[in-house]
Amino acid sequence: MTSKLYTRVASAAAGLLWSVAAVAQTPISLVVGYSAGGSADYVARVVGEELSKKLSRQVIIENVAGASGMLAAQKVLSGSNDGSVIYMGGTDTVLVPMVNPKAKVDWEKDFVPIGRTTTVPMIFAVPVNSPYNTLSDLIHDLKKGKDYLYAVPGIGTMQHLYGSLINNRGKVNMVHVPYRGGAQIATDLVGGQVDSAVLVLSTAMPFLKDGKIKALSSSDTIRAPQLPHVKRIGEEEGFQGTALPLWQGFFLKSGTAPATVAAYEKALIEALGSAALKAKLAEAGITVAPMKGQEFKAFIKPQADLYRDIVRSAKITVD
């Protein structure tokens, strides 16, 4: 090999090594559609820390709150598909465009899934002094025409859908009371200002532990490990096979190189296997529920169909 050719090859090889090293050192932005301090942010930080270790690459949480997560989705879609930005999506990624035509996000076309991270059950909760101990007891009374209110953190939320599902399948007519966010709901439930509420388990846990409220049902595919005595909705008569968990997962912008998607998928599944990570999230009422990308996509599709059915039957819209 001539000295000139050798120099060119060596130079090219050095450049390639520098490029690989540079990519490895470049932080990954994990975009979360909610403010710091909430349950979504907590999941992102716990999983992101472990993902950093697996990828040997820093993962930085970027909170882009607003429009029920849609601002975050749009930010990711307006960015690069080189793997430098991961989107933490969830139920709202699929639901919000169904209830709000202004939300121009199509989860199936716009994103490629890396994998599911977690699920969080919703619970149908009542004050501790309520006469009802099971959902079937409540539904039995409601069929007699009893007036009954359930609180939710806004119209078109998953909590609203859960109450609408109970109305539809249980053939009852509870009235939803939409709050502006969920912070006040548990307090008002404890105080008896509302008859019942649909709460995310992670929000409800302190009140359940203190014995101030009780859960009548859980929305996940399995009983919540923290509430093994509470039936999941799919165990109730008329609801067989039904589940409506809140779920979260990581996505990349469509068009990202398959090799990058595969590498992130492998790292994510390994990260979710951490016993310490599982313990941290379980303490907060969050279940680690890993799925690889294609399995995750197959999980979302029937959930999306269920959301659409509930939205149409209850005529739920958000301006």
pLDDT at residue 8 in the model: 52
- Same domain for 145 and 83: no
pLDDT at residue 13 in the model: 47
Backbone angles phi and psi of 84, in degrees to 5:
-80, -10
Q: Give the structural domain span for 272.
A: 3-119+247-314
Which of 235, 263, 285 delimits the end of a domain?
235
- Same domain for 128 and 115: no
Least confident span in 105-114, 145-154, 181-190, 268-277:
181-190
Name the nearest CA neighbour of 48 among 247, 312, 200, 264.
Answer: 264
Q: What share of the chain is helix, strand, coil (3-state, %, to 5)?
A: 45, 20, 30
Pairing of strands 85-90, 111-120: unpaired
Q: How many domains does the chain have?
A: 2
Mean pLDDT of 50-56: 96
Say whether pLDDT at 311 is over 80.
Answer: yes
pLDDT at residue 87 in the model: 98
95-141 confidence digits (pLDDT tens): 999 999 899 999 999 999 999 999 989 999 999 999 999 999 999 99
Mean pLDDT of 160-185: 93
**CA distance linking residue 196 with residue 38, whole number of Å:** 23
- Same domain for 275 and 226: no
> Which residues does 3 contact at the CB level (< 8 Å), separation at least 6?
none
* In-domain check, residue 241: no
10-49 confidence digits (pLDDT tens): 455 444 443 444 445 689 999 999 989 888 999 999 999 9
63-98 confidence digits (pLDDT tens): 999 988 999 999 999 999 999 999 999 999 999 999
Cβ burial 207-233 (10 Å sphere, 16+ → b, else e): bbeeebbbbbbbbbbebbebbeebbbb
User: Encoding tokens for residue 263?
Assistant: 């590498």
DSSP calls for 102-145? T----HHHHEEEEEEEEEE-EEEEEETT-S--SHHHHHHHHTTT
- Same domain for 93 and 58: yes
- Same domain for 149 and 91: no
DSSP calls for 19-72? HHHHHHHSPEEEEESS-TTSHHHHHHHHHHHHHHHHHTS-EEEEE---GGGHHH
Strand order in the sheet with 149-152: 175-178, 149-152, 196-200, 122-127, 213-218
- Same domain for 184 and 102: no
* In-domain check, residue 134: yes
**CA distance linking residue 212 with residue 133, whole number of Å:** 14
- Same domain for 26 and 67: yes
Say whether pLDDT at 5 is over 80.
Answer: no
User: Encoding tokens for residue 184?
Assistant: 């006040």
Mean pLDDT of 293-307: 96
- Same domain for 138 and 110: no
**pTM: predicted TM-score of the whole model, two decimal places:** 0.86
> Which residues does 239 contact at the CB level (< 8 Å), separation at least 6?
165, 169, 170, 233
- Same domain for 251 and 159: no
| Contact predicate 97/104, CB 8 Å | yes
- Other Cβ atoms closer than 10 A to 198: 29
- Same domain for 219 and 145: yes
Name the nearest CA neighbour of 269 among 286, 302, 294.
Answer: 294
Mean of pLDDT over the chain: 91
Token match 């997962």: residue? Answer: 249
**CA distance linking residue 125 with residue 201, whole number of Å:** 10
Least confident span in 16-30, 73-87, 169-183, 236-250:
16-30
- Domain with 115 in it: what CATH number? 3.40.190.150
3-state SS, residue 216:
strand
- Same domain for 127 and 22: no
* In-domain check, residue 95: yes
* In-domain check, residue 93: yes
For 16: left if phi > 0, alpha if psi spans -120 to 50, otherwise beta; the answer is: alpha
Say whether pLDDT at 173 is over 60.
Answer: yes
- Domain with 182 in it: what CATH number? 3.40.190.10
